[in-house]
Amino acid sequence: MIGRLPEVRTVSADHEPSGPSTTEEPPLSRIITTALPAHGHTGPLLAVSADLAARGHEVVFLGGSRFAGAAERAGVRFVALPAEADFDDRDLDGSFPGRSSLPPGPERLAFDARHVFLDPIPAQYRALLALLADFPADAVIADAFLQGALPLALSRPRSQRPALIGIGVTPAMLPSVDTAPFGPGLPPLPGEEGRARNRALQEEADRRAEPLRRYTEKVYAGLGVEAPRGPRGLAAVTVPDHFLQLTVPGFEYPRSDAPAGFRLIGALPGAVGDEQPLPSWWGELTAGRPVVVVTQGTLANDDLGELVAPTVTALAERDLLVVAATGRPGGPQALAGLLGGSLPGNVRAVDYVPFERLLPHTDLLVSNGGYGGVQTALRYGVPLVVAGASEDKPEVAARVQWSGVGLDLRTGRPAPVEVGAAVDRVLGEGRFRERARALGAELAQYRPFDTIAELVEAEAHSVPVGR
């Protein structure tokens, strides 16, 4: 999404918070929330934090230092991760030297697994233990990629620790006999043929991941904890007491062997962003032309030539209104520079825009595959064209095509002709819009904030910890 992170206190679709309590009543429970110091991971956990605080719980957020202000606006206490576990996700290549030399794909994913996710585990775990000594929480709610929370459950029985609840903020990495290994964006293949393919691919993935497995064991051994066994992605789901995936069955591959603690709870509603001023051209959204929005999100947007510029080029001067949401200051000027100094007449470029207000007027979203942004579009029944090659984006794009809500271009840098043909097809074939609306209706049936709150309250009353 292109809305700014500090908007997390806005009224949600499934709960109307009354704001932080001003009474002297004790909190319902004490909760620690924590996330990797990256926008796409921190945003959902702060939204959960704000909702729980508004319900009367006492919440402390453990996260990246640059999100201290956002936590304050969410109405929760903030504690910074130690420097060894903190980084600036807006410059991953600068934070992790050597990353930029690796192409998107298996090599970069392996680099990230080692340096972005595994190396910070000891510092994350120590920070969590220190916080628990000062703030004996009833529950810890952790972004699935903050793996320093896992030793908490691995090192002591449930009666001696708070409940651990994992939150899946990216497509599910849970391995299964019914799915290919996470990463390349391969959709399910039905029947025994598919299971045979999945077994072969998983065996190959396990062989390639052997050095990473040994590295993982070394990291955990330094904590005096035995490393979780099994393929990458399994521990994040099976070690916590509960694992809540932020999506619905219509947008996630079925797994006949999923553990009981793995639940799909719906996507979090976004912030409405009423305080954000609307651009002067906003009235054109209802002037009758189909509206196509293109974005590379708020992080992977240094090079607008990857997707935004090809889309604008492909759709220039068509009978469409094209909104280029660049997601960064100076984005419209940078885009114009890529296009020879000016924008086509049917294009409106902005730095930031309130997506929750834009999407109800949108006929098609062209996206690089941010998980939250894609599901936000689906909440409004908007079909998609997705082109993403880094991080989890190939998996998001594959789910877009598998679920029937759009097309996966299977590249992060499509040519204008590819984008144009995909836009024509999605706009021209009503089945994509129909399927997107069906997914929107499915998402509307879920109340994820209520689900999380009910689970926390049940856990808080089941096993008192340090109280």
Question: What's the rounded Cα separation, in Å, for the pair 153 and 13?
Answer: 33
Q: What pLDDT shows up at residue 300?
A: 73
Instruction: Read off the pLDDT of residues 126-168 as tens digits, 9 standing for 90 and up.
Output: 999 999 999 999 999 999 999 999 999 999 999 999 999 999 9
* pLDDT top residue among 463 and 460: 460
Question: What's the rounded Cα separation, in Å, for the pair 116 and 110?
Answer: 10
Are 219 and 148 in contact by the 8 Å Cβ rule? The answer is no
Question: What's the rounded Cα separation, in Å, for the pair 422 and 406?
Answer: 9
Domains 7-266+446-460 and 282-444 share a fold: yes
Question: What's the rounded Cα separation, in Å, for the pair 13 and 367?
Answer: 24
Average pLDDT over residues 343-354: 93
pLDDT confidence tier of residue 272, bands split at 50, 70 and 90:
low
Are 354 and 273 in contact by the 8 Å Cβ rule? The answer is yes
Rounded to two decimals, what is the model's pTM?
A: 0.89
Q: In this model, does residue 24 exceed pLDDT 70?
A: no
Question: What's the rounded Cα separation, in Å, for the pair 13 and 267?
Answer: 11
Domain locations in the chain?
Answer: 7-266+446-460, 282-444
Q: What pLDDT shows up at residue 270?
A: 75
Token output for 43: 């945003």
Q: In this model, does residue 15 exceed pLDDT 60?
A: no
Q: What pLDDT shows up at residue 101?
A: 87
Which residues contact residue 381 at a Cβ distance below 8 angstroms, ignoring those fewer than 6 apart? 433, 436, 437, 439, 440
Instruction: Read off the pLDDT of residues 316-332 as tens digits, 9 standing for 90 and up.
Output: 989 999 999 998 889 99
Q: What pLDDT shows up at residue 275?
A: 63
Question: What's the rounded Cα separation, in Å, for the pair 168 and 175?
Answer: 14
pLDDT confidence tier of residue 464, bands split at 50, 70 and 90:
very low
- Backbone φ and ψ for 59, nearest 5 degrees, come out as -125, 135
Strands in 219-301 per DSSP E: 242-245, 262-264, 291-295
Instruction: Read off the pLDDT of residues 414-423 as tens digits, 9 standing for 90 and up.
Output: 999 999 999 9
* pLDDT top residue among 467 and 167: 167
Token output for 289: 């032309």
Average pLDDT over residues 266-295: 87
Question: What's the rounded Cα separation, in Å, for the pair 197 and 194?
Answer: 5
Instruction: Read off the pLDDT of residues 74-113 as tens digits, 9 standing for 90 and up.
Output: 999 999 999 999 998 888 888 888 888 888 777 888 888 8
Q: Which CATH superfamily is domain 282-444 in?
A: Glycogen Phosphorylase B; (3.40.50.2000)
CATH architecture of residue range(s) 7-266+446-460? 3-Layer(aba) Sandwich (3.40)
Which residues contact residue 300 at a Cβ distance below 8 angstroms, ignoring those fewer than 6 apart? 306, 368, 390, 391, 393
